[in-house]
């Protein structure tokens, strides 16, 4: 599972970096730096989609397919739709239409995962890109129309895949990680005409040597959306090399 991410850049900064258009209604929305965005709170994050050319907009984290069900029921469903597994995404009713027709990119500066240390409890890590400013998370999105509120809710899920070497050390029980792609693969992921076979070729673990990670506070879950959440804490030279930082070279 990937349920906590960092996305501090503004929508205009993301628009510029990804050379995307910015609809006026999106430009007018307030920007909130997300240091510790918790998917279970359904935050609004900036995503890049390609319905009519590459464009940025904010969407709710927690995918809600356009089913004719009450809003309360769909919001409950969304809590289980923060992630979409790459190995079942083409068959799951919630995801199978979106993976073929509605794919997006979620740019993040990093994300959090927990390492199970048995009796010592679970240690959260902050994982971030080496030598780059963002990861390109692969996602899918959907439009849900609520008959009760007469509004359309646009929402997304982060696609996950098998853990690479580094993530298998950190996320050592689930052995999963977000699906991350390189800059030169973004067009292929967003291509509305991509076939299932072309999409599946992109669903491979991101290289460990392009990632780094360090321990953060065990109180991460209690902190909320504050900058302290991404601060490195306890140094432990016996874990993963110098200063407790995981760095696969």
Q: Is pLDDT at 245 greater than 90 in this prediction?
A: no
Compute the mean pLDDT over every residue in the chain, rounded to the nearest whole number: 93
* Digit-coded pLDDT (tens) for 191-224: 999 999 999 999 999 999 999 999 999 999 999 9
Q: Across the beta sheet with 246-247, what order do the strands follow?
A: 34-38, 4-7, 110-116, 122-129, 211-215, 246-247
Q: Is the distance from CB of 95 to CB of 79 less than 8 angstroms?
A: no
Distances in Å between the Cα of 91 and the Cα atoms of 46, 67, 85, 216 are: 27, 16, 10, 36
Question: What predicted TM-score, i.e. pTM, was given to this entire model?
Answer: 0.94
Q: Is residue 216 part of a domain?
A: no
- Total domains in the chain come to 1
* Digit-coded pLDDT (tens) for 55-65: 999 999 999 99
In angstroms and rounded to an integer, the radius of gyration of the C-alpha atoms of the chain is 18
Residue 49: give the domain boundaries: 4-124+131-211
What pLDDT, on a 0 to 100 scale, did the predictor assign at position 131?
87
What pLDDT, on a 0 to 100 scale, did the predictor assign at position 28?
87
What pLDDT, on a 0 to 100 scale, did the predictor assign at position 241?
43
Nearest to 41 by CA among 58, 57, 66, 60: 60
Query: For the domain that residue 90 is a member of, what is the CATH number?
Result: 3.90.1680.10
Query: Please, which residues have CB within 8 angstroms of residue 201's CB and are 6 or more apart in sequence?
Result: none
DSSP letter string over 48-80? EE-SSSSEEEEEEES-----SS-HHHHHHHHHT
d(CA 22, CA 17): 12
**CA torsion through residues 153, 64, 62, 147, sign:** positive
* Digit-coded pLDDT (tens) for 87-123: 999 999 999 999 999 999 999 999 999 999 998 899 9
Q: Is residue 33 part of a domain?
A: yes
Nearest to 7 by CA among 39, 54, 29: 39
Q: Is residue 249 part of a domain?
A: no
* Digit-coded pLDDT (tens) for 7-54: 999 999 999 999 999 999 888 888 989 999 999 999 999 999 999 999
Q: Is residue 236 part of a domain?
A: no
Q: Is the distance from CB of 181 to CB of 129 less than 8 angstroms?
A: no
Token readout for 44 is 């609004």
Sort strands 151-162 and 55-61 into parallel, antiparallel or unpaired: parallel
What pLDDT, on a 0 to 100 scale, did the predictor assign at position 235?
54
């Amino acid at each position: 599972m990937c349920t906590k991410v960092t996305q501090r850049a503004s929508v205009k900064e993301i628009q510029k970096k990804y050379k995307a258009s910015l609809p006026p209604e999106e430009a007018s929305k307030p920007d909130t730096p997300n240091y510790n965005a918790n998917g279970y709170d359904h935050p609004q994050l900036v995503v890049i989609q390609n319905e009519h050319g590459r464009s940025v907009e904010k969407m709710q984290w927690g995918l809600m397919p356009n089913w004719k069900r009450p809003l309360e029921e769909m919001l409950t469903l969304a809590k289980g739709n923060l992630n979409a597994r790459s190995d079942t995404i083409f068959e799951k009713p919630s995801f199978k239409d979106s993976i073929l027709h509605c794919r997006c990119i979620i740019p993040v500066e990093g994300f959090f995962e927990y390492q199970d240390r048995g009796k010592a409890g679970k240690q959260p890590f902050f994982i971030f890109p080496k030598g780059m400013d963002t990861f390109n998370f692969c996602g899918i999105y959907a439009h849900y129309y609520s008959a009760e509120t007469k509004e359309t809710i646009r929402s997304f899920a982060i696609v996950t895949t098998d853990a690479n070497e580094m993530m298998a050390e950190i996320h050592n029980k689930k052995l999963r990680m977000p699906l991350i792609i390189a800059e030169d693969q973004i067009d292929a992921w967003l291509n509305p005409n991509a076939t299932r076979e072309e999409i599946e070729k992109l669903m491979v673990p991101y290289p460990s040597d392009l990632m780094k990670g360090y321990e953060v506070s065990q109180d991460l879950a209690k902190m909320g959306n504050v900058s302290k959440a991404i601060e490195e804490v306890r140094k432990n030279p016996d874990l993963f090399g110098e200063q407790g930082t995981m760095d696969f070279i």
